[in-house]
Amino acid sequence: MQKVIWIIGASSGFGRDCALKLLQNNTYKVYVSARRTALMQDLADKGAMVLPVNVCDENSVQAACQTILDKEQRIDGLLANAGLGVYGMVEAVSMENIEYQFNVNVFGVARCIQTVLPTMRMQKSGRIVITESLAAHASCIGIGWYAASKHALKGMHIALRQELRNTGIKVIAIEPGRVKTDFWQTAGANIPNNITDYQTLTNSFMAYMNKPSYWQTSSTESTVNAMIDALTSDKPKMIYRTTKDAKLFPLLMKIIPNWLYDKIVWSQLGTK
Ligand SMILES: NC(=O)c1ccc[n+]([C@@H]2O[C@H](COP(=O)([O-])OP(=O)(O)OC[C@H]3O[C@@H](n4cnc5c(N)ncnc54)[C@H](OP(=O)(O)O)[C@@H]3O)[C@@H](O)[C@H]2O)c1
C-alpha cells in the first residue's frame, strides 16, 4: 500500500524539494499544499495532488485534509513546514506583524496537526514532522519574533511527542540552520526601520543579512533527506539537526556564558 504524505508549505524551498524527492519513486502518494498553487503545477505534473491551503485559515486546512481522507481514507505523514520570518528589532515590529508571525509559524502548525491527529489516532500510526529551526535554540538581534515562534514550536512538539507515546504516532522536529531558499527574500523584504534609536543597528543587521555568506552556505539537500527519513523510515530520530550551524549552536548555547554570546553577536554585526 502506498503511504499517503501531506506536505504543507510545498510551493518553494524545503517543502518543494522534499516533494520532488518523494515523487521520484512510486512508494508514496504525495499531497502538496501552500497558498500559491500555480507554483506547484510542476509537482502535479510529476504526480503530486495539489490542494490550496492557507495555514492561517482553519477552513482551508480542514477542507484539504477532508479531500485527502475522501480519496485515501488515511494520512501516514504530515510535514508541517509552512513558515516565514518576520524580521526586525523587537520594538519596531508592529503588533499586526507579530500576530502574523505567530499565526503562520505557530497557530498554522497547530491547525495542521489538530486536523490530522484524529485520523492518525484512529489508524494507530502516523508521522507528524515539524520544521523548526536553529532559532528554536538561539536568538539574536533582528530575529526576536521569529526565534520566539520557533521556541514556541519546540515547547509544543516535546509535549506532543510525549503525549503520543504508545499511540503509534511519532512526532519529529527538523532543525535546519541557514539554507538558501526564498525564506531570506521574504524575511528581508519588510524590515521596519522607523525608530531612530535602532537605525544604526537595523542597518548593520540588514547589511549582515545581505552578505551571501550569511545564508547561502548550504543547500536544501541534507534537510530534505532528514525530512524524508523522518516521514518514512522505520526508526526515525526524534530531532534532526541538518546543517553545520544547526548542530553547533545548541551546544554553543549550553557552554558559552550569555555575556560572551551577546559580545559575539554584536561583533558579527560590526558594532561594539
Ligand atoms: N531557509 C532557512 O534558512 C530555514 C532555516 C530554518 C528553518 N526554516 C524553516 O523552514 C520552513 C520552510 O521555509 P523555506 O526555507 O523552505 O522557505 P520558503 O522557500 O520561503 O518556503 C516557505 C513555504 O511556506 C509556505 N507558506 C508561508 N505562509 C503560508 C501560509 N499562510 N499558508 C500556507 N503556506 C504558507 C510558502 O508557500 P506560499 O507562500 O505559496 O503559501 C512556502 O511554500 C519554514 O518553517 C522556515 O521557518 C528555514
What is the secondary structure of 173-203 as a DSSP string?
EEE--S--STHHHHHHHT-----GGGHHHHH
Residue 213 is placed in which grid cell? Answer: 555568506
* Region of poorest pLDDT, from 17-21, 128-132, 171-175, 188-192: 188-192
Quick one: pLDDT band at residue 209, thresholds 50, 70, 90?
confident
Residue 26 is placed in which grid cell? Answer: 512510486
pLDDT score of 218 more than 90: no
Return the best residue to mutate from 6, 8, 12 for the ligand 1 pocket (most ligand atoms within 8 A of CB).
Answer: 12
User: CA-to-CA distance for 261 and 165, rounded, in angstroms?
Assistant: 36
Residue 223 is placed in which grid cell? Answer: 534537510
Give the residue with greater pLDDT, 240 vs 269.
240
| Contact by Cβ (8 Å): 223, 21 | no
- pLDDT tens, position by position, 55-81: 999 999 999 999 999 999 999 999 999
Average pLDDT over residues 121-130: 98
Any ligand 1 atom below 6 A from CB of 35: yes
Give the residue with greater pLDDT, 156 vs 190.
156
Atom number of ligand 1 nearest to Cα 131 = 45
Average pLDDT over residues 48-54: 98
Any ligand 1 atom below 6 A from CB of 60: no
Domain that holds residue 223: 3-268
Tell me the β-bridge partners of 1. Answer: none
Express as a percent the part of the chain with pLDDT over 70: 97
Q: Where are the beta strands (DSSP E) in the chain?
A: 3-8, 28-34, 49-52, 77-80, 126-131, 169-175, 239-241
pLDDT score of 231 more than 80: yes
| Cα 210 to averaged position of ligand 1 atoms, centre (Å) | 19
Quick one: pLDDT band at residue 216, thresholds 50, 70, 90?
low
- pLDDT tens, position by position, 157-182: 999 999 999 999 999 999 999 999 99
Return the best residue to mutate from 6, 14, 61, 149 for the ligand 1 pocket (most ligand atoms within 8 A of CB).
Answer: 14
Any ligand 1 atom below 6 A from CB of 34: yes
List the CATH number of the domain containing 163: 3.40.50.720
Predicted TM-score of the model (pTM) = 0.97
Quick one: pLDDT band at residue 217, thresholds 50, 70, 90?
low
Q: What is the mean pLDDT of the chain?
A: 95
The type of residue at 47 is G
Any ligand 1 atom below 6 A from CB of 115: no
Any ligand 1 atom below 6 A from CB of 178: yes
Quick one: pLDDT band at residue 147, thresholds 50, 70, 90?
very high
| Contact by Cβ (8 Å): 249, 137 | yes
The type of residue at 110 is A
For 23, the 3-state DSSP assignment is coil
pLDDT score at 214: 61
R_g over Cα of the chain: 19
Question: Domain count of the chain?
Answer: 1
pLDDT score of 237 more than 90: yes
| Cα 121 to averaged position of ligand 1 atoms, centre (Å) | 27
Residue 229 is placed in which grid cell? Answer: 527519513
